[in-house]
Chain A
Amino acid sequence: MQALYAQLLVGLINGSFYALLSLGLAVIFGMLNIINFAHGALYMMGAFVAYFLLNLGGINYWWALLLAPVIVGIFGMILERTMLQWLTGLDHLYGLLLTFGIALIVQGVFQNYFGSSGLPYAIPDQLRGGMNLGFMFLPIYRGWVVVFSLVVCLATWFLIEKTQLGAYLRAATENPTLVRAFGINVPRMITLTYGLGVGLAALAGVLSAPINQVRPLMGADLIIVVFAVVVIGGMGSIMGSIITGFALGVIEGLTKYFYPEASNTVVFVLMVLVLLVKPTGLTGRAA
C-alpha cells in the first residue's frame, strides 16, 4: 500500500510536466489554431538556455526560471512573425507540417553541436535533499516541481478564462474582424499568445533540466505523449489539458508499478479508448 502512495506521488510529478506542456499546446491551438509540433523542441531549448545561462553567464536556476521562458518566448514570437502567420486560415495540416519541420531543424542543430548524451545541470542548492514521508523518500526538488507547475497552470487558466485580456483573446479567435473593429491589434495579440505558449514549454524545460539530462532529443521523446494528453483532454481546452496532464502522469506511474513494460504505451491505449467513446476528447467542444 505504501508503495502505491509513492507511485501516485511520482505520477503526479511527471504529470506536472505533461500538464505544463499540454497547457502550452492547448493555448496555442485554442488561440492560433496551430498544432504546434515544435513544442518539444522549444521545451528542449528552455533546458539548454538554462544550461547556458549557468555555465556561460553564471546566472543561477532561479533567474533561469524567469529568463529562459522570456528568451525562448521571443524566439517563438520571431517564428510566428516570420513563418506561422502566413498559415492563417489554412488547414491544420500545414501548421503541423511546418512546426514539425522546425522541430527537426532545431533538434538537428543542437544535436550536431552537443551530441546526444546530454549535459549535466545540478539541482539548485536550496532544493537539494529530500524528506522522508514514511511511505517514500521525496526529493525536495520533485515536490517543488509539482507545486510550482500547479501554480503556473492555474495562473494561466485564470489569465485566459477570467481576465479581460483573456476575453479579448478568446473573442479574437472567434471573430478577428469584429475584435479589430474595437481597435485591438489582433496579429500582435496572436504573436504574444504564441510567445506565451512557447514560454510555458521553455519553463517546463528549465524545471526538467535538473532531473533529466539536458539533451537535444529530450523534447522529441516527450512530445508524442504530450500530444496524446492534449487529444485525450480535448484539443484547445485549457482546464482539460491541465487535469488530463496530471491524471495521465498518475496512470502512467501506476502502470510502471504494475506492468512496467506497458508504461510507454498506456497513454496511447487510453487515447484510443477515449477517442472511440468521445471523439472530441474528455472536455473538448465539438468543432
Chain B
Amino acid sequence: MKTRSIASLLLTTALTTALTIAAAGVASAQDKTVKIGALSDQSGLYADLGGPGSTLAAQMAVEDSGLAAKGWKIDIISGDHQNKPDIGTAIARQWFDVDKVDVIVDVPNSGVALAVNNVIKEKNGVYINSGAATSDLTNAQCSPNTVHWTYDTYMLAHTTGQALVKAGGDTWFFLTADYAFGAALERDTTAVVTANGGKVIGGVKHPLNTPDFSSFLLQAQSSKAKVIGLANAGGDTTNTIKQAAEFGIGKGGQKLAALLLFLTDVKAIGLETAQGLNFTETFYWDMNDQTRAFSKRFAAKMKNNAPPTMVQAGVYAGVRHYLKALEAVGGNPHDGVKIVEKMKSMPTEDDLFGKGEIQPNGRTIHSAYLFEVKKPSESKGPWDFYKLVGSVPGDQAFTPLSESKCALLKK
C-alpha cells in the first residue's frame, strides 16, 4: 500500500512537472495575436494607388491565410501619413508604443518610407513596404526589419529606361518630383542611360503636387531631347502626360517616358491621351486566371469596383508571406528581425506575383513586365488598359547583390 502511494506520488509529480514545462514552452510560442498597421496616403495624390485599397488588400490577405480558424487573432488598423515624413513617423511611433503594432505595411512616398524605416528598425518591428519606390530601402539604407515588395527605382530604370535607350532614345531630359523618390528615380535612370551610351542633357525639379506643368514642359521641349523622362508619380504624372499632349509633345518627335505609371493613373488620364505609353509594372489584374480571380474579389469590395494596383497587390502578397512565416514559427515572437529572417528563408509564392524570393538585403524579386497602354478601340472594358509587350525575369530586373551597398550583406 505504502509502496503504491509513493509510486503514484512520484508519478503525479513527474507528470505535473512535465506538463508545466510543456505548457510554459507552448505559452511562449503560442502567442497568436498579431496587429497590422496599414500606413498610407489616404487622401492625397497617392490615395488611389495605395490608400484604402491597401488596407483592403491586407484584410484579404488575413482572411485568405485561414489563420483565424487556427486560433489566431489578427487585427488591422490604418493611418494617413499625408505624404509628410513627420506625420508618418509620429503614427509609426504611436503604433509601436501604444497600440502594440507588429508590422507596418505599404507606405507610399519614398520620403515618408525612409523616415518610417528608421523608426521600425529602432522598435524592432516588421516593415513590408509596397508603395514606396526608392531603391535605397534595400540598398544604402537597408534594414534587417525591412522587406521591400513590388517595385523600386532601380527596377523601373532598368526596364523602361533601358528599353527606351535601346529603341534609339539616347538623349534625355528629366522632369523630376523634388523629393527622395524623384531624386532616386532620376539617379538610377541616369545611370542606365549613360551605361547604354545615352546622354542626359538637362532636367528640372518640380515641387510635389504641382497642378501646372506647362513651364517645365516648355523647357523640356526646347531642350530637343529625344526622351522626356518623368521621374514623378500619381497626380503629378497624370497632369504631365495630359499637358504634354496639349503642347504637342509626342507629335513633335519627342517621346514621353512615364517611368512610373499605375493603373489608376491611366484611368485618370483616359486612353485617348494615354494610348501608346510604355511603362513597367510587376502586377496587372488581367495577367492570368489567378490574378483575375483575386482582382474580381477585390474589385467587388472596392469603391468604383476598381481592381487592385500593383501597390495594393504587393500589400496582399507581402502580408500573406509574413503570415506564412509567423505560422511556420508557430506563434508571434514579437521580434521583427527574427520574423524577417524567417520570411527571407522561405521562397515566396502567391497567386499575384508567382514564385520569387526575398534577398538578404530585404528586396523581394519577381518578374517585371513591360506594358503599353491600349488604344481606346482595343479596350474591352472599364479597366482593360494594358497590352503586355515584354517581361524581364526578377534576377535581371532588380539590383544584383554584387552591386548592392546594403550593410547586411557584409556580415
- Is the Cβ of B270 less than 8 Å from the Cβ of A117? no
CA distance A256 to B175 in the complex (A): 12
User: Which residues of chain A are within 8 angstroms of B264 by Cβ–Cβ distance?
Assistant: 115, 117
| Contact of A139 with B210 at beta-carbon distance under 8 Å, contacts A113-B303, A115-B264, A257-B219 already known | no
Q: B52 → chain A, closest Cβ, in Å?
A: 9
CA distance A189 to B353 in the complex (A): 63
**8 A Cβ contacts from B189-228 to A:** 204-207, 209-212, 214-216, 218-219, 221-222
| A91 contacts B by Cβ under 8 Å | no
- Is the Cβ of A257 less than 8 Å from the Cβ of B268? no
Residue of B nearest to A129 (CB): B248
| B265 contacts A by Cβ under 8 Å | yes
**8 A Cβ contacts from A105-149 to B:** 111-120, 122-123, 129-130, 136-137, 139, 141-142
- Is the Cβ of A116 less than 8 Å from the Cβ of B207? no
Q: A282 → chain B, closest Cβ, in Å?
A: 24
Q: B238 → chain A, closest Cβ, in Å?
A: 6
- Is the Cβ of B218 less than 8 Å from the Cβ of A10? yes
Residue of B nearest to A115 (CB): B48
- Is the Cβ of A257 less than 8 Å from the Cβ of B215? yes
| Contact of A213 with B243 at beta-carbon distance under 8 Å, contacts A10-B214, A118-B268, A261-B207 already known | no
Residue of B nearest to A141 (CB): B246
Residue of B nearest to A263 (CB): B207
| Contact indicator per residue, chain B 68-109, by CB within 8 Å of chain A (1) or not (0) | 000000000000000000000000000000000000000000
How many chain B residues sit at the interface, stated as a range, is 35 or more
User: Which residues of chain B are within 8 angstroms of A215 by Cβ–Cβ distance?
Assistant: 235
How many chain A residues sit at the interface, stated as a range, is 35 or more
| A211 contacts B by Cβ under 8 Å | yes
Q: B154 → chain A, closest Cβ, in Å?
A: 25
| B234 contacts A by Cβ under 8 Å | yes
CA distance A120 to B239 in the complex (A): 10
| Contact indicator per residue, chain A 1-29, by CB within 8 Å of chain B (1) or not (0) | 01100110011011000000000000000
| A212 contacts B by Cβ under 8 Å | yes
Number of contacts between A and B (CB, 8 Å)? 118
| Contact of A119 with B247 at beta-carbon distance under 8 Å, contacts A7-B215, A213-B239 already known | no
- Is the Cβ of A120 less than 8 Å from the Cβ of B207? no
| A101 contacts B by Cβ under 8 Å | no
- Is the Cβ of A13 less than 8 Å from the Cβ of B238? no
CA distance A155 to B43 in the complex (A): 38
| B178 contacts A by Cβ under 8 Å | yes
| A264 contacts B by Cβ under 8 Å | yes
Q: B278 → chain A, closest Cβ, in Å?
A: 20
| Contact of A116 with B43 at beta-carbon distance under 8 Å, contacts A122-B270, A142-B246, A260-B206 already known | yes
**8 A Cβ contacts from B38-56 to A:** 43-49, 51
CA distance A7 to B204 in the complex (A): 14
Q: B253 → chain A, closest Cβ, in Å?
A: 12
Q: Which B residues lie at the A interface, using CB under 8 A?
A: 43-49, 51, 178, 204-207, 209-212, 214-216, 218-219, 221-222, 234-235, 238-239, 242-243, 246-248, 252, 264-265, 267-270, 272-273, 303-304, 306
17 CB contacts below 8 A, A to B, read A3-B222, A14-B214, A111-B47, A115-B48, A115-B306, A116-B48, A116-B51, A117-B49, A118-B268, A130-B246, A213-B238, A213-B242, A217-B44, A217-B45, A261-B205, A261-B207, A263-B206
Known: A221-B209, A260-B204. 10 other contacts (CB 8 A): A115-B47, A116-B48, A117-B234, A117-B238, A130-B247, A142-B214, A222-B211, A260-B216, A261-B178, A263-B215
